[in-house]
Amino acid sequence: MFEQLGLDKKTEKVYRALLLLADSPATHIAREAGLKRTSVYHVLENLAGMGLVSTYTHRGVKRYAAENPQKLKSYFEEKMILAGRLIPLLQKEALGSVKKINVRFFEGQNGLKRMSEEALESKEKKILSIGSSKTLLKYLGGKHGFGERRRKSGIFMRSLRFPADESSTNARLHQVRFLLETFQFPGYIQIYDDKVNVFIFENQGAGFAIASRAFSKMMRSLFETLWQTASA
């Protein structure tokens, strides 16, 4: 349970040991927890910082007392309040960075998968794509529920694919047209909001994501031109 709260096993052992002992010096706590005394000091200081342990000195020996476990809830409630104040500031900084041209690079299967997932955050609830979905899945390591989550989020998608690719299984939320087989395009592009994700089908796969209103507008114009020439 403690690990789910971001606290390690040592912290759990020390706190549980102190709850049993109620009040004790570090040597007794270490023995009860089954840990080395040197490592227990650091854990006790952390617990004191969380308000779960109090300290006092008796006859020259520093002793530790366990506080009510309810303090654990209070500690995380304070963290939630702090996070609530911090999030708007971070969002403001993030919005400010989007106004600039922001380029991020990705490599390998996991990197491409992370980049692909970002399109599901589309605020406009619209995604345009160019390229072979079949080849994209190969570089992503197979299906990972992207389509299902997109549909559940109500995101509409228009795709320019190749004849070897599948057609749409849900015309209401996904329209597909096919490019000529002779069209050379060893990659995949996602266009959404003011962002463009470019996947490069080479070696282990690579890509880059660009946040730029101007570049997004350019790629949308390219998409619409190809859409007019593609077959349904």
**Same domain, yes or no: 54 and 167:** no
Could you give the CA distance from residue 220 to residue 194 in angstroms, rounded to a whole number? Answer: 10
Is 172 domain-assigned? yes
Residue 114, pLDDT score: 92
Residue 95, pLDDT score: 64
> Counting every residue, how long is the chain?
232
Residue 232, pLDDT score: 77
Is 90 domain-assigned? no
**Same domain, yes or no: 217 and 135:** yes
SS (H, E, C) 74-95: HHHHHHHHHHHHHHHHHHHHHH
156: tokens are: 């509409």
Residue 158, pLDDT score: 93
Q: What is the pTM of this model?
A: 0.56
Number of domains in the chain: 2
Is 149 domain-assigned? yes
Residue 100, pLDDT score: 67
**Same domain, yes or no: 63 and 120:** no
Residue 126, pLDDT score: 95
Is 74 domain-assigned? no
Residue 97, pLDDT score: 54
**Same domain, yes or no: 56 and 131:** no
**Same domain, yes or no: 51 and 114:** no
Could you give the CA distance from residue 178 to residue 37 in angstroms, rounded to a whole number? Answer: 69
Are 55 and 64 in contact, with CB atoms under 8 Å apart? yes
C-alpha distances out from residue 1 to 11, 53, 57, 72, Å = 11, 19, 32, 12
Mean pLDDT of residues grouped by 10 in the chain (232 residues)? 72 82 82 84 83 83 83 78 81 64 89 92 94 89 84 92 82 88 87 94 92 91 90 81
Domain CATH number, residue 151: 3.30.870.10
Residue 230, pLDDT score: 86
Is 72 domain-assigned? no
Neighbours of 102 (CB within 10 A): 14
**Same domain, yes or no: 178 and 106:** yes
Domain CATH number, residue 59: 1.10.10.10
Residue 206, pLDDT score: 93
47: tokens are: 């617990």
Containing structural domain, residue 55: 2-67
Residue 120, pLDDT score: 92
